[in-house]
Chains A and B, each alone.
Chain A
Amino acid sequence: MMLRLPIGLALVLAATVLLGSENLVQFSDESLRIRYQALITELRCPKCQNQNLADSNSPISQDLREEVQRMLEQQMTDVEIKYHLTSRYSEFILYRPDVNKTTYLLWGSPVVILLIGLIVALRLNRRNTVQVVSSGKTQIDNESRLAELLESGEDEK
């Protein structure tokens, strides 16, 4: 009687494991699986805006995963597979697009923004150093002026 719940739970868990394994992708060579996983995480689902093929359940993603698997089994290289897909779905499908005239802004802007930041930081830094030097100088000026004033004050007495 006490065992009924744990046994029931174990059966449910076993069933989910079995159901899950049914959907596993089969490969003739296990090394293909590693490349498959890498490709489907790096390829973007064309229907859904911000999901990769690995995460998406949409029918088109399922089809494209099958397509990637088929191409891997045909001994196509990663570059060939990506070319095959971009020639159909455009570069949208790549999460890491090549550098070309449509993507130079995408790749270049972080570098440019970093450079602007560096320049601003350097200039601010330089201005601060200059101020420290000049304030040091004014301090000396002030002291000597103070001494002068004190002296002249004593004269007036």
Chain B
Amino acid sequence: MNRIALFLPLALFVVLTVVLLLGLDKDPTELPSALVGEPFPVFSLPALHDANQMLDEQDLLGDVVLVNIWATWCFACRIEHAMLNQLEEQGVKVIGLNYKDNREAAIDWLKKRGDPYTFSIFDERGRLGIDLGVYGAPETYLLDAGGTIRHRRVGVVDDRVWNNEFRDLYAQLMDEKR
């Protein structure tokens, strides 16, 4: 009995080491997604290209879509943009949410770099951003045809992220739609 008790500190040390080692792999900047499985928030915001055209959550229904939060001040969005253009070429419907940006600068950016977005929502004050729990750009949401958020990616979507997190789920949601 006493012999076994002597090994207790060692056992505690091993357990603690394993717990801490597992913790090293976690990204502390990644917040748990509160909105996955929830419907896309209700909103009413102007289109980026036409201040008089109002858009709302109804415009996101009927198709499996990616909603991409971006801004011209966001450096990582530059890196991501080529990937979005590529996805759009492959037939993925991408909707832009221009977040806390300048309208002219944003339109200019899309002219220069290509416009992968079916349409762009202009969220100048970041109100929809708060309802989505956005804390930085870029962020990308995958919505099913019913407008429910099925996946969220904080940070750049590149080939690796698309293949690991989005591709299968996207195919599955497209199947569900049919």
Known contacts A47-B135, A47-B136, A60-B136; is-contact A88 B100 (Cβ 8 Å): no
Nearest-neighbor residue (CB-CB) of B33 within chain A? A90
| Residue B131 at the chain A interface, CB threshold 8 Å | yes
Q: Using a Cβ–Cβ cut-off of 8 Å, how many residues does chain B contribute to the interface with A? A: 17
Given contacts A46-B31, A59-B100, contact A88 B133 (CB under 8 A): yes
How far in angstroms is the closest Cβ of chain B from A127? 11
- Asked if B28 and A89 make an inter-chain contact with CB atoms under 8 angstroms apart, the answer reads no
Residue of B nearest to A47 (CB): B135
- Once the chains bind, are B29 and A89 in contact (CB under 8 Å)? no
Specify the main secondary structure of chain B where it touches its partner: loop
Min CB distance A67 to B, Å, is 6
Across the interface, which residues of B come within 8 angstroms of A63, CB to CB? 126, 129-130
Please give, as numbers and ranges, the residues of chain A lying within 8 Å of B133 by CB-CB distance.
46, 88-90
Whether B132 sits at the interface, judged by CB under 8 Å, is: yes
**Interface positions of B from 110 to 155, Cβ below 8 Å from A:** 126, 129-136
Q: Which residues of A contact B35 (CB under 8 A)?
A: 87-88
Q: Does B1 contact A (CB under 8 A)?
A: no
Please judge, given known A-B contacts A86-B34, A88-B35, whether A49 and B131 are in contact too, CB under 8 Å.
no
Given A59-B100, A63-B126, CB of A90 within 8 Å of CB of B31: yes
B33 to chain A, nearest CB (A): 7
Give 1 or 0 for each of B1-35: 1 = CB within 8 Å of chain A CB: 00000000000000000000000000011011111
- A81 in the interface, Cβ–Cβ < 8 Å? no
Interface of A is mostly: helix
Residues A64 and B130 in contact in the complex (CB < 8 Å), given A47-B136, A49-B28, A89-B135: yes
Q: Chain A residues near B135: list those with CB within 8 A.
A: 46-47, 60, 89
Residues of A within 8 A of B28 (CB): 49
Separation of A130 and B33 alpha carbons in the complex (Å): 57
Q: How far is the CB of A83 from chain B (nearest CB, A)?
A: 11
A88 touches B132 (CB 8 A): yes
Contact status of A92 and B32, CB under 8 A, knowing A63-B126, A63-B130, A67-B130: yes
Chain B window 23-52, contacts with chain A (Cβ cutoff 8 Å), 1 for yes, 0 for no: 000001101111100000000000000000
Residues in B lying within 8 Å of A, measured CB to CB: 28-29, 31-35, 100, 126, 129-136
Binding site for B on A (CB under 8 A): 46-47, 49, 59-60, 63-64, 67, 86-92
